[in-house]
Amino acid sequence: MPTEVILPRVDMDMTEGSITAWYAKDGDTVRQGEPLFDIETSKATMEIESPASGVVRKITAAVGDTVPVGTVIAWIYASAEAVEELEEAMVGAAAEEVVTSPMGSSIAPEPVLRSRGRDDEPAPAASGGLRATPAARRAARESRIRLEGVDGSGPLGRIVEKDVRAFLQREGAAAASSKSLNRIWLQTGNAATIVLIHGFGAESNSWRPLFNAMRSASLLTDTGVLAIDLPGHGKSPDDAADSLTSIRQAVETVLQEEQVDELHLVAHSFGGAVAIELAGRLRSRVRSLTLLAPAGLGESCNWAFINGLVKAIDPATLRVWLEELVENRALIDDAFVATALQQLGRSGRREALQCIAATFFRDGRLQFDLRGAILELPMPVRAIWGGDDRILPIAHADHLPGVVAQHRFAGVGHLPQMEVANEVAKIVGEQLLN
């Protein structure tokens, strides 16, 4: 029998989720464990793996659709299985199925949300409906190219992996692109771009609470928002993390590739150190710098947290360390823990983070000092800190020069962009006026 692909529950309070990407289309062959689709809930974005190997059929939810938990959104067939057999079974089941409510009455089953296209067409893919195999999409992501410029040689013009490789060879880009950092355009626009740089152990999607708060407050009119995964984090490669200079260069390469000229930097924790380096390099191109609990202004850090975070292998243990990040521990829900554990579970990720920790935070002592560098910055700088930060103590803010505006929040931990997202959004919005 074919395998159901359902929208999973990744949080005890979750009732529905939005499809944000499909990595396969109707008729594509997938392997068990490889990325199949992405979902976004009110609290997290997660990559969902294929539950089986085979051929994807009958995708019923398009990118952008909001789907109830437990809904069957696709089927995976073994190569020898016939689609028609399932269709007949589904028709028969639909005619007979009755659901009994808790009150004892009979109600019709909740309908499965359908694709926006015709029933006989595959759901649109994440890249706007382009026909491309998963291998082709993966090659394009790794090489940082847009599939719109690639000619497909497969059936019905479908782009296959060899088409991407041929394109790279023609453009002479094959050698340069595979080590670029992963980046996500949360929003495009014509004004100076907001560039978001996360902290140690996090990734680009950690900025979504702040992004959503800014969007809700109408602070992002015509403003591009670009989030970047640091080396060894998110979907970025694990190299280029041996010094602040090499990381800064890797981030600068992303800005060149994305043609970002003028920008507003917003950075958290270890990302703040990278941002200070980057601002010193780009100078007049950076219109403002907003730092959230930045590293590099003092000597001490919570080594137990860093070490425990990297080594945690089960949800219960990981939750203990993640709760150190915030004062409001209710924010560390099942979805937050599951997302963090998924990131740590990537091949080579723990080893990469251990190397980064040993290089920059060895034995709880920061191995770099940026107090002098921040004095030389020409752009407006603001620093935001939680009064109950247990990772980088708020006492580090005492070393900031008088020209840096400080915003201190009592009862807040190391993640002000989550705990007081609306207030941080307002501060960043004021920076956009520069």
Domain CATH for 26? 2.40.50.100
Same domain, 238 and 160: no
In which band, very low, low, confident or very high, does the pLDDT at 343 lie, cut at 50, 70 and 90? confident
Domain CATH for 157? 4.10.320.10
Among 211, 175, 200, 187, which residue's Cα sits nearest to residue 321? 200
pTM over 0.85: no
Residue 220 lies in a domain: yes
Same domain, 195 and 164: no
Instruction: Quote the number of domains for the chain.
Output: 3
pLDDT one-digit tens code per residue, 71-122: 999 999 986 555 545 444 444 444 333 333 333 333 333 333 222 222 333 3
Q: At what angle do helices 303-311 and 315-322 cross, to 10 degrees?
A: 160
DSSP annotation of 21 reads: E
Point out the domain boundary residue: 49, 71, 86: 86
> In the prediction, which pLDDT does 397 show?
97
Same domain, 313 and 408: yes
What does 280-314 look like in DSSP terms, one character per residue? HHHGGGEEEEEEES-SSSSSB--HHHHHHHHH--S
* Cα gap 352→357, rounded to integer Å: 9
Same domain, 207 and 151: no
Same domain, 18 and 154: no
* Cα gap 343→405, rounded to integer Å: 34
Residue 121 lies in a domain: no
Residue 111 lies in a domain: no
Domain CATH for 217? 3.40.50.1820
Residue 302 lies in a domain: yes
pLDDT one-digit tens code per residue, 366-377: 999 999 999 999
Largest separation between any pair of C-alpha atoms in the chain: 74
Residue 416 lies in a domain: yes
> In the prediction, which pLDDT does 240 show?
58
Domain holding 395, by residue range, is 183-433
What does 309-359 look like in DSSP terms, one character per residue? HHH--SHHHHHHHHGGG-SSGGGS-HHHHHHHHHHHTSTTHHHHHHHHHHH
Same domain, 139 and 169: yes
Residue 329 lies in a domain: yes
Point out the domain boundary residue: 117, 147, 176: 176
Rounded to 5 degrees, φ, ψ at 186 are -70, -25
Residue 199 lies in a domain: yes
Residue 95 lies in a domain: no
Same domain, 168 and 197: no
CB 200 within 8 A of CB 301: no
Rounded to 5 degrees, φ, ψ at 288 are -160, 160
* Cα gap 273→295, rounded to integer Å: 5
Same domain, 168 and 191: no
